[in-house]
């Protein structure tokens, strides 16, 4: 995909970014808005890059996931995306807001809770091929995310969740986001333009933009031991491990087979992807 970078004025976001700031215990200089469609394959492919970026440079930025799927629906027969056709709604009967509201309901229990729940929804959809439109599956994702289940159920139909989702849509419109994934970088300490980049790009591109926004070339933090990474996430795709640890697919296979022999991980297969379950997830 061709690189698509645009510059964005920070002044337009005064009223939208401030609403999140009470979550921050330490104000970091960079704020990264990540516009995602939970069931978009490119958004799922972006996840390893965000994890690696957080590991190496997370001390400099805060990620704000923005749910931006209001223009899309699932065609259950072909498993692909389509623009909503208001003239023939029956052709595309399954809409996304139920999943969007579930993510915002989880987020009401904290930003990290929302991020974890989003990850679990994506794992269930892309890796396990579960029907994430089923309430039982969403409840399972909430349990897996260690949410307060009764609170989550109550918030699924709450005004707060609906308002949070509409707020995400407003931010999407204000920033003229037309595609997912889209990332917008801002330096909160410098009154300059932000940088907006659309589509899935190389990890090096995201690092380059981050350094440009920081106006310096920081040393990346050391990666955690693999088992610490797996303990934290529970489930990791083969490709994800390779990206985070800068290993080839073959190197990742050798390392994971050693853990498999020690009965610490279990290999599983999705349609086009290998993933590993760790510890209690086996």
pLDDT in tens, 125-169: 998 889 999 999 999 999 999 999 999 999 998 999 999 999 999
The ranges assigned to domains in the chain are: 4-214, 226-281
Token couple for 134: 């089923």
* Residue 178 per-residue DSSP state: -
Alpha-carbon torsion angle 4, 7, 11, 14, nearest 10: 30
Per-residue pLDDT reduced to its tens digit, 24-36: 446 789 999 999 9
Q: Is 64 exposed, middle or buried (0-12, 13-18, 19+ CB in 10 A)?
A: buried
Distance CA 145, CA 120 (A): 7
Per-residue pLDDT of 200-244, as tens digits, reads: 999 999 999 999 999 999 999 999 999 999 999 999 999 999 999
Which pLDDT band, with edges at 50, 70 and 90, does 88 fall under?
very low
- The token pair at 233 is 């996430």
CATH 1.10.10.10 fits 226-281, yes or no: yes
Residue 3: per-residue pLDDT: 59
Query: How far is the C-alpha of 101 from the C-alpha of 106, rounded, in Å?
Result: 9
Percentage of the chain exceeding pLDDT 70: 79
DSSP helix, strand, coil percent of the chain (3-state; round to 5): 50, 20, 30
Adjacent-strand bridge partners of 33: 64, 184
Kindly report the CATH number that applies to the domain delimited by 4-214. 3.40.30.10
Average pLDDT, the chain: 83
- Taking a C-beta distance cutoff of 8 angstroms, is the pair 230, 278 a contact? yes
> Is the fold of 4-214 the same as that of 226-281?
no
């Amino acid at each position: 995909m061709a690189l698509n970078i645009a510059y964005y004025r920070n002044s337009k976001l005064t009223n939208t970014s401030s609403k999140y700031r009470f979550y921050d215990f330490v104000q970091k200089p960079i704020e990264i808005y990540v516009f995602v469609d939970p069931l978009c394959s490119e958004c799922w492919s972006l996840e390893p890059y965000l994890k690696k970026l957080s590991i190496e440079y997370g001390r400099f930025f805060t990620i704000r996931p923005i749910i931006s799927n209001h223009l899309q629906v699932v065609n259950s027969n072909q498993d692909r995306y389509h623009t909503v056709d208001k003239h023939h709604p029956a052709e595309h009967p399954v809409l996304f807001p139920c999943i969007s509201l579930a993510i915002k309901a989880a987020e009401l229990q904290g930003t990290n809770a929302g991020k974890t729940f989003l990850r679990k929804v994506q794992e269930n959809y892309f890796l396990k091929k579960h029907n994430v439109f089923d309430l039982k599956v969403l409840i399972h994702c909430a349990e897996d995310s260690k949410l307060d289940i009764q609170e989550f159920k109550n918030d699924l139909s709450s005004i707060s969740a609906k308002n949070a989702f509409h707020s995400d849509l407003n931010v999407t419109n204000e920033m003229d986001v037309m595609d997912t994934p889209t990332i917008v970088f801002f330096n909160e300490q410098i009154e300059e333009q932000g940088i907006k980049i659309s589509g899935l790009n190389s990890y090096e591109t995201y690092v380059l933009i981050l350094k440009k926004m920081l106006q310096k070339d920081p040393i990346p933090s050391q990666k955690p031991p693999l088992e610490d990474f797996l303990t934290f996430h529970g489930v990791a795709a083969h490709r994800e491990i390779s990206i985070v640890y800068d290993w080839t697919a073959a190197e990742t296979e050798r390392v994971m087979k050693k853990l498999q022999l020690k009965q610490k991980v279990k290999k599983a297969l999705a349609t086009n992807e290998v993933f590993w379950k760790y510890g209690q997830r086996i």
